[in-house]
Amino acid sequence: MAYWLLKSEPDDFSIGDLKNKKVEPWNGIRNYQARNFIRKMKPDDKAFFYHSSCKAIGIVGSVRISSDYYEDTLALDSSSPYYDERALIENPWSAIDVEFENMFESILPLSRLKELAVHDHVLASLDLLKKGNRLSVMPITTEQWQCIFKYAAL
């Protein structure tokens, strides 16, 4: 089983939205590196849910990967903001389903993670904290997964 971190802008899709819906497609990824991580995901993998580009930035809960990856058909829908006219011929994008697992009692803020990382070498190794890392899908090691859960108030 592998672990991941998924970023979402909560104005578009939040952990609360997923809690209500139970299972939702994770689609609209238009970055090759992120897509390739999606393609490595397997059912029962786990992922942290991260809120980005908002007031309260940080990790807010976790989800379970609940499908194999499949083609992101939003790329083929000309009315979708995620439409990509090249996807039909040369550029298939991928999506996956995620199932709500849990919401932290309070957000684990990015600022807090940075503070903790000063004295925690496991957190310090997080890709999320590396300068300039903008990937919306990234792998998390087992060690990092457990470490973050330790700091998250459930």
Confirm or reject binding of residue 90 to DNA (CB under 7 A).
Answer: no
Q: Which is nearer to DNA, 30 or 64 (CB)?
A: 30
Q: Which residue has the tokens 């980005």?
A: 52
| Total of chain residues touching DNA, rule CB under 7 A | 19
B/e letters for 40-62, b = 16+ CB within 10 Å, e = fewer, are ebeeebbbbbbbeeeeebbbbbb
Q: Quick one: which of 62, 66, 136, 144 contacts DNA (CB under 7 A)?
A: 136
CB of 114 to DNA, least distance (A): 7
Q: Quick one: which of 111, 127, 146, 154 contacts DNA (CB under 7 A)?
A: 111
Q: Quick one: which of 19, 30, 46, 64 contacts DNA (CB under 7 A)?
A: 30
CA 27 distance to own-chain centroid: 11
CB of 39 to DNA, least distance (A): 15
Q: Quick one: which of 32, 44, 77, 83 contacts DNA (CB under 7 A)?
A: 32
Extract the tokens encoding 128: 């999320």
CA torsion 104→109→113→116, rounded to 10°? -90
**Residues near DNA (CB under 7 A):** 7, 9, 30-33, 52-54, 57, 110-111, 114, 131-136
